[in-house]
């Protein structure tokens, strides 16, 4: 998996975890579905975008996705994978846990990450721009 694919997965996985307390879609206003290379990610982003335009939050996306995808079982499996393995919160917790464990091993304090979700979105846009510039 290349960096762009990972960034796509992090963005979609995080958007799937959005709720009424924290709607990560606000950080993605500059994104459009056609920026995503992976077809499933493109379709998921399109659905999430439509849901946000209509005022629906992603608290129960399965019902809405069920209406838009033919093979519901496969999309559910991919959604769970994206939420559990690629969400911003999961990635940040993994990094901070590694930093804590390193500190336990070597007795030094290691800096925890202060990265924000919009940092991933910015990096994704830069990557898309760079790749588009390369192919032009």
Q: Is residue 47 part of a domain?
A: yes
Domain count, the chain: 1
Helix/strand/coil (H/E/C) assignment for every residue in the chain: CCHHHHHHHHHHHHHHCCCCCCCHHHHHCCCCHHHCCCHHHHHHHHHHHHHHHCCCCCCCHHHHHHHHCCCHHHHHHHHHHHHHHCCHHHHHHHHHHHHHHHHHHHCCCCCCCCCCHHHHHHHHHHHHHHHHHHHC
Q: Is residue 106 part of a domain?
A: no
Q: What is the CATH number of the domain that holds 81?
A: 1.10.860
Q: What is the pLDDT of residues 52-76, one digit of tens each?
A: 877 665 555 567 667 777 777 787 7
Q: Is residue 16 part of a domain?
A: yes
pTM above 0.85, yes or no: no
**Local confidence band at 22 (pLDDT 50, 70, 90 cut-offs):** confident
């Amino acid at each position: 998996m290349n960096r762009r694919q990972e960034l796509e997965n992090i963005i979609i996985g995080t958007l799937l975890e959005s709720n009424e307390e924290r709607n990560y879609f606000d950080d993605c206003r500059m994104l459009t579905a056609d920026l995503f290379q992976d077809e499933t990610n493109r379709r998921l982003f399109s659905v999430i975008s439509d849901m946000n335009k209509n005022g629906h939050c992603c608290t129960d996306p399965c019902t809405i996705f069920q209406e838009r995808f033919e093979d519901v079982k496969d999309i559910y499996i991919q959604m769970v994978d994206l939420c559990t393995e690629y969400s911003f919160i999961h990635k940040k917790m993994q990094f901070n846990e590694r930093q804590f464990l390193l500190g336990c091993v070597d007795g030094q304090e290691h800096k925890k990450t202060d990265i924000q979700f919009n940092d991933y979105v910015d990096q994704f846009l830069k990557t898309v721009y760079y790749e588009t510039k390369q192919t032009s």
